[in-house]
Amino acid sequence: MATEGQQHPIKIYFLIWLLLFVFSFFSYLVDYLDLQGNLRWFLIVVFMLLKAGFIVAIFMHMKWERFALIFGILLPPLALVVLMFLMAIESNYAWSSRVQYMGEDPAPKPKPPPHMDHGEHGEDKDH
């Protein structure tokens, strides 16, 4: 058993390689263009899933595995989807109660990193 391996034309690897760069470029673009809000997260997640999908399917050969293995590996992470979804709701709730009951600032402006504000560099301000 298990004597046949996975053999595919090398062409497809180059194709995927290229594709991954394209996706990386796009998600890089999202940051570069400084998209904000839901659109930003939506795009980042979409590109992330696309890249992950191609790596798993082609580089890790899942596309050529039997479906017994594919289902076995891809179904359990659904539990993680539930966890993420519920934790997102929970965090929203925690955040809103912090804003509502503890008087926290709902839209604070981040300070720029030290190397951007041309001020003192690398000042060790921690305790």
Partner 1 sequence: MATVEVPYQETVPLHHPKTWIGKYIFSQDHKIIAVQYGVTAMAVGLVALILSEFMRLQIAFPGWEWMDFFTADHYYQAITMHGMIMVIYLLTAFLLGAFGNFCIPLMCGARDMVFPFVNMLSYWVYLLSVIILMVSYFVPGGPTGAGWTLYPPQTITAGTPGHDWGIATMLISLAVFIVAFTMGGLNYITTILQARTRGLTLMRMPLTVWGIFIATFLGLVAFPALFVSAVMMLLDNFLGTSFFMPAIVSLGEKLQYSGGQPLLFQHLFWFFGHPEVYIVALPAFGVVSDLISVHARKNIFGYRMMVWAIVAIGALSLIVWAHHMYVAGMHPSFGYFFATTTLIIAVPTALKVYNWILTLWRANIRITVPMLFALAFVLTFIVGGITGLFLGNVIIDIPLSDTYFVVAHFHMVMGVSPILAIFGGIYHWYPKLTGRMLNDTIGRIHFYFTFIGTYAIYFPMHYLGFIGVPRRYYETGISDFYPQTAHDLNVFITVAALIVGASQVLFIVNLVHSYFNGKKAPANPWGANSLEWCTPETPPRHGNWEDQLPTVHRWAYDFGVPGEEKDHVPQTVPRRKAS
Partner 2 sequence: MTDTTLSSQESIFTSTAKDWSSDMTTFKGVPWGKAMMWIFLLSDTFIFTCFLVGYMVMRMTVTEPWPVASEVFALTVWGVSVPLLLIAIMTFILITSSGTMAMAVNMGYQRRKWAVFWLMVATAALGASFVGMQCFEWPKLILEGVRPWYNPMGAPQFGSIFFMVTGFHGLHVSVGVAYLLIVAIRVVRGKYDHTNFEIVEITGLYWHFVDLFVVRTEA
Quick one: angle between helices 10-32 and 37-54, nearest 10?
170
The interface with partner 2 within residues 92-111 (CB under 8 A) comprises: 92, 94-95, 98-99, 102, 104-106, 108-111
Q: How many residues bind partner 2 (CB under 8 A)?
A: 74
Q: What gap in Å lies between CA 19 and CA 59, rounded to an integer?
A: 12
The interface with partner 2 within residues 36-55 (CB under 8 A) comprises: 44, 48, 51-52, 55
Return the one option of partner 2, partner 1, none that residue 43 interacts with (CB less than 5 to 8 A, by type): none
CA dihedral 60, 77, 71, 43 (to 10 degrees): -60
Our CB check for partner 1 shows the closer of 74 and 82 to be: 82
